Amino acid sequence: MKSRNYFDEIAPQWDRLRESFFSRAVKDKALSVANVHPGRIAADIGCGTGFITEGLVQRGLKIIAVDGSEVMLSEMKQKFAGLDLIDYRLGEAGRLPIQDETVDYAFANMYLHHVEVPPDAIKEMTRILKPGGILVITDLDEHRFEFLKREHNDRWMGFPRVDIRRWFEEAGLRDVALDCVGENCCAASSCGSEHAKIGIFVASGRK
Ligand SMILES: C[S@@+](CC[C@H](N)C(=O)[O-])C[C@H]1O[C@@H](n2cnc3c(N)ncnc32)[C@H](O)[C@@H]1O
């Protein structure tokens, strides 16, 4: 099944599924690492139904929310109906629908392990940052749970943190830092025989 079809299909259940995988501690960590300021502009890339956006709204930022799934975006629009702080854009990892040097922050939670070419996706998120802007990625550490590819459409089985650091540096980011979120991503295989418990990293860098 193609990635976009998969996400279109699970969009109505995504909030419930996500809550079973990981908690809001992931969002809190990402936002605290970025030290966000009200009034600034943030991009939520691979926004899904707006997990990261919700925290940005609460902190008074303007948000450009990008996703490849129209159904995810329409679920998100319903959730945040009436809020004019969010600009929704349908777009792909390889060419984000945002002009160069537009945003103060770019966030991507649990997005990188779905994209085709992760280092290119990092370069593309760096492109949209203003000089001095901050990229924060929260995603899975390298793991061995193949069923996540079969059942959850994962393309990559997490990432070694050394690769993430190198890709950030190759994108031209400085002050690159990697840390544990202090939270695991948990999922059981459909037959119940496997239980994944995977560390989550937070990576940040400044343009
Ligand atoms: C696992 S969900 C995470 C959603 C959200 N960030 C969250 O934390 O709840 C991954 C999201 O990335 C989007 N996505 C996956 N591959 C993409 C791509 N190549 N371009 C744009 N969006 C993509 C999916 O449509 C989906 O909404």
Summarize pLDDT for 61-113 with one digit per residue, the tens: 999 999 999 999 999 999 999 999 999 999 999 999 999 999 999 999 999 99
- d(CA 132, CA 126) in angstroms, rounded, equals 11
- d(CA 133, CA 100) in angstroms, rounded, equals 12
Using DSSP's 3-state secondary structure scheme, residue 169 falls into helix
What was the pLDDT predicted at 76?
A: 98
Q: How far is the CA of 72 from the centre of ligand 1 (A)?
A: 9
Structure tokens at 174: 């400085």
pLDDT at residue 1 is higher than 50:
no
What was the pLDDT predicted at 3?
A: 65
- Asked if residue 51 lies in contact with residue 62, where contact means CB atoms within 8 angstroms, the answer is no
Summarize pLDDT for 101-134 with one digit per residue, the tens: 999 999 999 999 999 999 999 999 999 999 999 9
Using alpha carbons, select from 57, 48, 105 the residue that is nearest to residue 84: 57
pLDDT: is 155 or 188 the higher one? 155
109 Cβ below 6 A of ligand 1:
yes
Nearest-atom number in ligand 1 for the CA of 15 is 9
> For atom 12 of ligand 1, which residue has the closest CA?
46
pLDDT: is 127 or 199 the higher one? 127
- Asked if residue 1 lies in contact with residue 66, where contact means CB atoms within 8 angstroms, the answer is no
Q: How far is the CA of 68 from the centre of ligand 1 (A)?
A: 7
86 Cβ below 6 A of ligand 1:
no
Summarize pLDDT for 21-68 with one digit per residue, the tens: 889 999 999 999 999 999 999 999 999 999 999 999 999 999 999 999
Q: How far is the CA of 46 from the centre of ligand 1 (A)?
A: 4
Produce one character per residue of 156-179: b if its CB has 16 or more CB atoms within 10 Å, e if not.
bbbbebeebbebbeebebeebeee
> For atom 9 of ligand 1, which residue has the closest CA?
51
Q: Rg of the Cα trace of the chain?
A: 16
Instruction: Supply the pTM of this predicted model.
Output: 0.95
- d(CA 147, CA 115) in angstroms, rounded, equals 18
